[in-house]
Amino acid sequence: MGDRDPGLEQKNRKRKFIHFADVILFENDNVIVVNKPAGLSSLEDRTEKSANLQQLAQKYHAGASLCHRLDKWIPGVLVIAKNQHAYREISMQLERRETTKRYLALIHGAREFQDFEINAPLIASKSGMVYVNPQQGTESVTMVNTVRKFRNHSLVECKPIIGRTHQIRAHLTMMNSPIIGDTLYGGADLLLSDLKLPGETEMRTFAATLPENFEMALKILEKYDH
């Protein structure tokens, strides 16, 4: 599935030059853990010539290989193996689901999710979007918890149990709670004018810092949507 997504990409938006060393969260002899910024493809994208995280990692350390990936406009933590032994080990951990991935999303609607399981098979269309299809879809499971509920929006934590491409986006849309700004899956931009209403082994954990626009959206919701 291609990374180009008009629902998340802002028109004429320019990505700043990325210094690989600046996005490293952790490094040892076997792995590099990075905070991938939004707008940077994980792997090579044939539709564009700009650098991707894999290329930057290999310039930093020869033989580096991404153990998993994130969509271009999704920021977050990625693990990069520095050798084949580490790559195999991380891949097996991911396959055995010995690692846990959690994603934060701002969604439309004041929702109270508590260990809510969305079990809905997904199928990809020729356009690149995925849809719920109980008959022909591939098994996809997401656990959702509300972190903070606002008047008309919510901050939720999503944990893929069985993960697929665009799974969280499609599952939240199925729940009538699309992600803010994700117009491809039914979300709308967060506009201040709409909110200012009158009267209203060794276990390691890595977390990516929130993007500036995400933090700004939270501040706006805190002020005008509670």
**Token digits of residue 209:** 């810092």
Give the torsion through C-alpha atoms of 202, 29, 211, 14, to 10 deg. -160
What are the φ and ψ backbone dihedral angles of 179, each rounded to 5 degrees? -75, 135
Cα separation, 79 vs 95, whole angstroms: 14
Counting Cβ atoms within 10 Å, is residue 95 exposed (0-12), middle (13-18) or buried (19+)?
exposed
Whether 71 is a known active-site residue: answer: yes
Cα separation, 210 vs 51, whole angstroms: 22
Nearest in space to 163 (alpha carbons), one of 184, 133, 142, 132: 142
Pairing of strands 65-66, 76-81: antiparallel
- Catalytic residue among 3, 5, 45, 71, which? 71
- Placement of tokens 């193996």 in the chain: 81
Residues with active-site annotation: 71
